[in-house]
A and B are shown apart, each in its own frame.
Chain A
């Protein structure tokens, strides 16, 4: 498994700060974009970004080269952190509702904040979080199907199914908003 960030691993394992900065220069936008798509809030996305890079910084000395790509690891940690935040922001959901869309009015998002978003982001926030993640990993981050499935902790088939359902739901939502 070739990792395009493998050149930074010795520096990161030695605790060299310039290596961390170089990693952020390369991957910060990707992690932030993913977190933003999932959370819909730029400041929450920054918090997730910060936590993700710090987690990697702490874990880097124990990094085992060849087992995973750094970007995949970062996306996976960020995705899980986003899921945690989304669940904490709606603790009253009964059972596993991860595949259910959030139908609450406003969903804790102010009108002003909503107006800043474009139509796609509005529709994305209506999607179930796993479909949202699948679409963002595919279209924002251009990860391969295998890497994206790895990030989400599912098989490639399951990821493909999420992607298909996500596309279908997103298309329906966007058509709905156009006609509204």
Chain B
């Protein structure tokens, strides 16, 4: 059986790749340098990967700054909550802003 198989495979048509396949691969290889030689050419901080990383970190910091600034102050949140719950006067008294009239 294995010999039959060998014969079968030998006689089975497998198309050959198109003639320009090697040229296409060479063309792609020319724009895609091998890993080590591409890395040897520039110091790490000049590589596009390093710049991408710097840009990412900078973007995160800027976004973080805006997010932090846009957060309402904790005290403001409590004040709003107190107003809504009807305890505004009590909180004002606790904070010492006003005096509550005694009967």
A residues adjacent to B (C-beta < 8 A): 12-15, 17, 20-21, 24-25, 28-29, 32-33, 36-37, 42, 45-46, 49-50, 53-54, 57-62, 118, 120-121, 135, 139-140, 167, 170-171, 174
Contacts and interface: CB of A to CB of B under 8 A. Distances in A.
Interface string B19-54: 001101110111011111100000000000000000
A69 B10 CA distance: 24
Contacts of B15: 36, 42
7 contacts: A28-B21, A36-B14, A49-B21, A50-B28, A53-B25, A135-B9, A171-B1
Contacts of A46: 17-18, 21
Main secondary structure of the interface of B (DSSP, over half): helix
Contacts, number: 90
A164 to B, nearest CB: 10
Contacts of A24: 22, 25
Chain A CB within 10 A, most for which of B6, B8, B16, B17: B17
Given A13-B36, A17-B29, 19 more contacts: A12-B34, A15-B34, A32-B17, A32-B21, A36-B14, A49-B21, A50-B24, A54-B25, A60-B34, A61-B35, A61-B36, A61-B37, A118-B12, A118-B13, A121-B12, A135-B5, A139-B9, A140-B9, A170-B5
Contact of A140 (B14, B36, B37): B14
Interface of B: 1-2, 5-6, 8-10, 12-18, 21-22, 24-26, 28-30, 32-37
A17 B34 CA distance: 10
Contacts of B32: 54, 57-58
Nearest to A136: B9
B5 A139 contact: yes
A20 B29 contact: yes
B20 to A, nearest CB: 10
Contacts of A139: 5-6, 8-10
Nearest to B1: A167
B28 A54 contact: yes
A44 to B, nearest CB: 11
